[in-house]
Structure 1
Amino acid sequence: MSSEHHSYSVSMNPSPAEGELSVLFSGEAQPMGLHKIGPAIHDYYLVHTVLSGRGEFIIRDTSYPCVAGDTFVIFPGELFSYQADEREPWSYVWVGFIGRGADDVMSQVGATPHHPVIPGSLNPNIRSYYDKLIGCYDSAALPELANLEAGGWIRLLLQQFGVARKKLEKNHPESTAAIDLVIKQAIQYLTLQYTQPISIEHLSGMLGYHRTHLCKLFKQSTGLSPSQYLLNIRMQRAESLLASSMTIEQVASSVGFGDALYFSKKFRKWRGQSPTEYRKALRTPPKRSKDPYRLN
């Protein structure tokens, strides 16, 4: 046991499996006052749930005081640090994991670098799932079966965090000012980045929202989904570019479409004409109706 801890235990996965989610280790500790980790960067997710006491978690230059019942998430590639309170040092349980499905799962849970703390996320189920994770490798005769068991417990644990996040959102809805700011930021991003491949999933995570929740707020504010709003920006810009001498391929690329045929399909649906037909109509002078009173 480290001299910086009153108690410390960790259970390591001797043979992490490749898959959607793979637990690396899980443990429990009661550090001494002012015990600090970081600044550091991990290449895996590391989730801590505070059992008692208090401490501070810092990510992206933002400090989050955490108390019993709070869960804070360390994200791969993000600089972080955390420190126990001097008078009431926290105790916590933790689990580290990786996997090609980890990003999507955490997005569904609603935990992002902008919203890395889930308050009120400790209940008997969560404590039990941590215990199962900590214990499943200690007596495992076959690592493959232990991986299978741990994969089930980590999913149940993360599901409980998602439930806690939903309860938090329901009990503490965003203020109108906060929502307006987020929508303004989303619109600014779409307006400036429309020439690039844009993932609404990435945009949601960047703003600290689950995709479904952001789309709901965005549509309430603008009447359109983010994808529809982006398409409008692209098509309106395409209309102006079609008046130039650019090729259809160049226009498509300039408004964020790598495939000119797909762009043409979207433009026809938008305008009721293909890009070529629209360009031809722009270049054809409108016919003037004959004035019956004009002398020829």
Structure 2
Amino acid sequence: MLEYLPRSKQHTELHLTQFGMEDCISGHYFGPAVRTHYLLHYIFKGEGIFEVGGVRHHLRKGQGFLICPHIVTYYQADEVNPWSYGWVGFNGTLAEPLLMQAGLTPSSPILHYDRDDMIYQYLQLMAQSRQSHKARETRLTGLLYLMLSLLVESGPETPTVQRESRAEVYVEQVIDFIEMNFSQKITIEDIAHLIGLNRSYLCSLFKQQMNISIQDYLIRYRMDMAAKMLGNTDLSIGDIARSVGYTDPLLFSKMFKKVKGASPKHYRSATALT
């Protein structure tokens, strides 16, 4: 079973280019050759060899190999116990980062997954997706994400963040949380709890890195978003206040004027004239 897929215009971050399964005959081989996309093979039974960069790997059930774009590789089924495998070809801007999370790189192309038969099941579901019409591409992309998630979950632990960059990581988490939740009623305690740090310690780290308190950063971010919304005259001041986390329009107007130097009404009028 082999199926090639057209280039995806919708899922540019990650998309399938082909997938299939095969019971290989004795000695079946491919290469030496290169591919223009990522190609991931997973062995269901049997054994064989995979060669890349002058290194030969003897592989069997529960293992697999990654072929990276533009790298010469060769693989061959065993003469006595030829392998059966499945494969997915894919590309996209997220392909390399996800593979790296799974510990798969050009210098480390061998995968190990023997927890269950989920990879086989996902390949079967890919084949069954032919029954879908309007949503097939989205379904296939979802199955590819699920398959890669198995490899990421079972892959090697990522290196611990170096001590000197730990503060930067926490600050980035605070900023991400604010950007995703500024429209909600959130507190500094909520942010500290999510990140897993003492409130005072987190506030101190953030102030040291950003030269602004978390509370002031949250207010400024909300007012920046409100200022953008004021350009939409279909939104009332009350609509905008609620959209940036304020249930009281008067309090919102007071905070907006404090940060932007003008009331929301006057800011909207001034913006309309420019």
Q: TM-score range by the shorter chain?
A: 0.5 to 0.7
* Structure 1 moving runs of 4+ over 6 Å: none
C-alpha contact (below 8 Å) 2:113/2:151 kept by paired residues:
no
Match of 1:161 in 2: 151
Task: Output the CA distance in 2 between the equivalents of 1:87 and 1:224.
Answer: 54
Judge which range, 11-20 or 48-57, deviates more: 11-20
Match of 1:147 in 2: 137
Task: Output the CA distance in 1 between the equivalents of 2:17 and 2:115.
Answer: 22
C-alpha contact (below 8 Å) 1:71/1:121 kept by paired residues:
no
Q: Deviations over 1:192-237 (max 9, x none)?
A: xxxxxxxxxxxxxxxxxxxx42x65xx5xxx877xxxxxxxxxxxx
Q: 1:133: Cα distance to partner?
A: 1.8
Aligned with 1:48: secondary structure? Answer: strand
Q: Deviations over 1:88-142 (max 9, x none)?
A: 0000011101111111111111101111111234622222111112322x22323
Q: 1:76 aligns with which of 64, 69, 85?
A: 69
C-alpha contact (below 8 Å) 1:129/1:157 kept by paired residues:
yes
Q: Deviations over 1:27-63 (max 9, x none)?
A: 1001111111000110101011000000001111111
Q: 1:65: Cα distance to partner?
A: 0.8
C-alpha contact (below 8 Å) 1:49/1:122 kept by paired residues:
no
Aligned with 1:92: secondary structure? Answer: strand
Match of 2:43 in 1: 50
Any gaps of 5 or more consecutive residues in structure 1?
1-8, 170-211, 226-296
Task: Output the CA distance in 1 between the equivalents of 2:46 and 2:115.
Answer: 13
Any gaps of 5 or more consecutive residues in structure 2?
166-274
C-alpha contact (below 8 Å) 2:40/2:88 kept by paired residues:
yes
Residue 2 (structure 2) pairs with residue 10 (structure 1): yes
Match of 1:190 in 2: none
Q: 1:14: Cα distance to partner?
A: 4.0
Aligned with 1:88: secondary structure? Answer: coil
User: RMSD over aligned Cα, in angstroms?
Assistant: 2.3
Aligned with 2:79: secondary structure? Answer: coil
Q: Deviations over 1:164-193 (max 9, x none)?
A: 223xx6xxxxxxxxxxxxxxxxxxxxxxxx
Normalising by structure 2, we get a TM-score of 0.56
Aligned with 1:103: secondary structure? Answer: helix
Normalising by structure 1, we get a TM-score of 0.52
Match of 1:109 in 2: 102
Residue 163 (structure 2) pairs with residue 132 (structure 1): no
- Code of the aligned partner of 1:151: T
Question: Identity of counterpart residues, as a percentage?
Answer: 28
Aligned with 1:152: secondary structure? Answer: helix
C-alpha contact (below 8 Å) 1:60/1:113 kept by paired residues:
no
Aligned with 1:33: secondary structure? Answer: coil
C-alpha contact (below 8 Å) 1:57/1:81 kept by paired residues:
yes
Match of 2:210 in 1: none
C-alpha contact (below 8 Å) 2:27/2:79 kept by paired residues:
yes
C-alpha contact (below 8 Å) 2:5/2:18 kept by paired residues:
yes
Count of matched residue positions in the alignment of Structure 1 and Structure 2: 166
- Code of the aligned partner of 1:161: L
Instruction: Give the alignment of 1:241-252 within 5 angstroms.
Output: none
Aligned with 1:57: secondary structure? Answer: strand
Q: 1:85: Cα distance to partner?
A: 0.4
- Code of the aligned partner of 2:2: V
Q: 1:151: Cα distance to partner?
A: 1.0
Instruction: Give the alignment of 1:15-94 within 5 angstroms.
Output: 16-17=8-9, 18-94=11-87
Task: Output the CA distance in 2 between the equivalents of 1:132 and 1:122.
Answer: 19
Change (3 A) 1:13 1:140: farther
- Code of the aligned partner of 2:133: A
- Code of the aligned partner of 2:39: L
